Structure formats: C-alpha cells, structure tokens
Amino acid sequence: MPAFPPLLIAEDDAQDMFLFTRLLQATGALHALHIALDGRDAIRLLTPVVGQSRLVAKPAVAFLDVALPEIGGLEVLTWIRQHRELDDLPVVMMATTPDSASIARAARLGAQCFVAKFPGKASMARLLQNAPQFTGRDGVHIFDLPENLLRSHAAKTYYPPR
C-alpha cells in the first residue's frame, strides 16, 4: 500500500480538474489521483475495492461532482453507500452552483461534505488531514469544516437501508 492512499476525483470539466489539481498541489497533497470523467468511470474505479482486491487501494476521499455525465455524482454516492466495504470512504460532493435540494439529498445519502467549487486551501488541507479519522456508519457523519454546506442542514445524515 502506498504511504498516501489515492484520491478519487470524478470531474468531467477539464478546467475544473486543472483548478482542483492546483488546489491539491497548493496543500502539499502527495496522493496519487484516480480520475473519473463520469459517474460510470467512478463506479468502475471503486468496483475492485468492493471486491476487496488487494491490488487496488481504497481512496482516502472520493470527490464527486454533482453534475457528472452518464451517472450523476449523487447516484455514485448512492452506489457507494450501498457497499459495506466503502462505509469508511469519506465522500465530498462538489458543485459550481450548489442548490439546497442537492445539498439536502447529499446529506440524506451519507456525504461527509458538500462544497462549492472550490474550497479554500486551508479547508482542503484540513479535510485531507481529517479524512483518515472517518470511520463510517459508527462515527462522525459530517466533516466540521467552515465551507461544508452540509453543516447548514439540521437533518441528521443517515445511510439508506440495505
């Protein structure tokens, strides 16, 4: 296993991907990047982890754009939370213009963070620092970050039934 587990980034916009990688670089992140250009790619990249392949490291964090082609980011989040092997995978939803319906749905589906593209350098560094402490179903559900839009939703997050 690498010293730093990879980050899964599901983003279809080349300019946003460039800005996101610059943000990661500014935080000093040393993670390899697994890049998905649509939701189908994101699920394909996570499938070996669900199969408990020892050849593929579980990502430290999954960053999902809400507006992915093929399968949207919220649908990928739904897929992730249906797999026990991914219970401890922190999911950060991203949107250029977040709307309250998407934020509320992400909270209900079990996301840990929802940010407007893109969070500040300090928030991203803090997120990457705290992500390994996320324990899934039995632990903290929402990351305590100033830019986390899920914090404004009083409804407790929950995971969909199996």
Contact (CB, 8 A) for 21 and 87: no
Q: What is the per-residue pLDDT across 54-102, written as a single tens digit (0 to 9) for each?
A: 777 899 999 999 999 989 999 999 999 999 889 889 999 999 999 999 9
Interatomic CA distance for residues 154 and 23, integer angstroms: 29
Q: What are the residue ranges spanned by the domains of the chain? A: 7-130+142-152
Helices and strands (DSSP H and E) totals, the chain? 5, 5
Q: What is the CA radius of gyration of the chain?
A: 14
CATH superfamily of 7-130+142-152: Response regulator (3.40.50.2300)
Encode pLDDT of 96-129 as tens digits. 999 999 999 999 899 999 999 988 999 999 999 8
